[in-house]
Amino acid sequence: MADSDSRAGARYTSPEILAFCERIHVAHDAGLARAFAVPDGIPAIMVGPSEGRLLGLVCRLAGVKKAVEIGTLAGYSAIHIARALPADGHLWTIEFDPTHAEIARGNLAEAGVADRVTVVVGAGVDVLPTLEPHGPFDAVFCDADKISYPFYGAWAARHLRPGGIVLGDNAYLFGELMDASPRGEAMRAFHEQVARDFDSVCIPTPDGLVLGVK
Please name each of the domains of the chain with its CATH number. Answer: 13-213 (3.40.50.150)
pLDDT band with cut points at 50, 70 and 90 for residue 40: confident
**Would the pLDDT of 1 be above 70?**
no
Write down the pLDDT at residue 184.
97
Write down the pLDDT at residue 76.
96
Calculate what percentage of the chain has a pLDDT beyond 90: 88
**Would the pLDDT of 31 be above 70?**
yes
Q: Give the dihedral sign, CA 102/165/184/170.
A: negative
Element (H, E) at 104: helix 98-110
pLDDT band with cut points at 50, 70 and 90 for residue 10: confident
Is residue 171 classed as helix, strand or coil in its secondary structure?
A: coil
Write down the pLDDT at residue 137.
98
Query: pTM to 2 decimals?
Result: 0.94
Write down the pLDDT at residue 203.
95
Beta carbons within 10 angstroms of residue 155's beta carbon = 24
**Would the pLDDT of 75 be above 70?**
yes
Average pLDDT score over the chain:
95
Query: Which one has a higher pLDDT value, 9 or 46?
Result: 46
**Would the pLDDT of 100 be above 90?**
yes
Distance CA 63, CA 196 (A): 23
Q: What is the pLDDT of residues 120-175, one digit of tens each?
A: 999 999 999 999 999 999 999 999 999 999 999 999 999 999 999 999 999 999 99
Calculate what percentage of the chain has a pLDDT beyond 70: 100
**Would the pLDDT of 58 be above 80?**
yes
Distance CA 120, CA 90 (A): 13
* Residue 147 contacts residue 182 (beta carbons within 8 Å): yes
**Would the pLDDT of 38 be above 90?**
no
pLDDT band with cut points at 50, 70 and 90 for residue 201: very high
